[in-house]
Amino acid sequence: MNTFFKNFNQNVEVIDKCLLILIGLIPISLAISIFMADLFGSTAGITLIYIFLKKDITFLKLLKKEIFLMMIFYSIILISLFISDFFKHSFLASFFYFRYFFVSLSIFYLLKKYDFLISFFLYIIIGTISFVILDAMIQYLNGTNLFGYGHSAYLEDERTLKYLTSFFNEEKKLGSYLVRFLPLILGLIYLYDKIKYIHLDKCILIIVGLIIFHSSERTALFLYFVILASYILISKNKLKVILTGLFITLILFISNNNLKEKYIDSTLMQMELKESQFYNSNKVRFVSEEHENLIYTAIVIFKKNFLFGSGVKTFHPQCRKIAEQKIESDNQRNKMQCSTHAHNTYFQLLSDVGIFGFLIIFYFLYYLVSTFFKMLLNSKKMDKYFLSYYFINVGMLINLFPLIPSGSFFNNWICLMISYLFGFWLFLKTQITHKKYT
């Protein structure tokens, strides 16, 4: 720690220190105040632009392909904005979307210029996650968290069930927050490569898993198991890890019958694999009726705006406009249903930015998947950089996972989550690609 502060004081330029502080405040702000997180991210972007105008930026040549794809995607967003029937509704989210790219580039710039900042980010992320976990535990034991927020509740078959939310109060984001940062923590632990952290990865996996389970977020729990499976695949003691995971999961479901019903029984009912007073048809669904209706709506919007979509965040007004035309339901009895977004990343991309925007993100998904399997095949040869890149690549994958319900791809909270992780992904990709190990 003393070495870090010495390097920080002596070697980091003043303007870079400001940028580092802004970037370092984003993780905790994402838990406490999305307004502050967005403010820090936007200010970091402005600071980075100032740095680029004053200094040599030839290192960006390392990201020629990535920057080109960012520019193409942003151009598609702008085109969809200018041809949208809801220009005013879409303007802010579309025009200022570029700020998320600058958050990623800020992290890349800092790590590329100051390699010792890896330890800074490790301490920041672990400290932030530990603080959120501690707050969630206080809420679990005491009934209220540090801010006085109590358990939130949902109605399930006329019963009121409670779940943990920590700083997110009424919003069910705690599990999503933890599962999105978990791969970054694992990646930074392996990148830092200190012997004292030898069992920290296992402790974090278990504790984060317990909190996610009690957050009652099915998508977050599913993504957690994806991360856990990725961990098992490169683990030297696969059987031991699997048995431990199964044992803990079994104990959790036995000890909390309400959450068992939420995760298993409720899911089966919504997929109409199990009858209840609310779900009693003979039709099996891949997801709930509501989500299938939203996907159907996204497809209808996409067909009417094939190339560039209806515009970012225009799902609801476009849905209402089309619904007035009395579109018929499909042969699966799905119907138009208006919401803020399609609740699935790829169907939202189709409806908001059309086939061109969809193909950019789908290409990136393909790259992530192919990278995952290539690294898996060479897992025995992984050094600390490859191991770190492996987990951060998994982190990007779960943020773009195609087969599950999701939040809005253009929501500022999710965009900051993705762009933050993407900065580390860019750094490690260039380290591995160009074989410039620090």
Q: State residue 253's pLDDT score.
A: 64
pLDDT in tens, 141-192: 888 888 888 776 554 444 455 678 889 888 889 999 999 999 999 999 888 7
Task: Tell me the CA distances in angstroms from 347 to 12, 157, 364, one per residue in order.
Answer: 44, 30, 16
pLDDT in tens, 216-234: 888 898 899 999 989 888 8
Q: State residue 415's pLDDT score.
A: 95
Provide the whole-model pTM.
Answer: 0.89
Q: Which positions of the chain have pLDDT values less than 70?
A: 1-5, 8, 56, 152-162, 193-198, 238, 240, 251-288, 325-333, 434-438
Q: State residue 436's pLDDT score.
A: 46
Q: State residue 409's pLDDT score.
A: 94
- Tell me the one-letter amino acid at 126: I
Q: State residue 322's pLDDT score.
A: 84
Q: State residue 259's pLDDT score.
A: 60
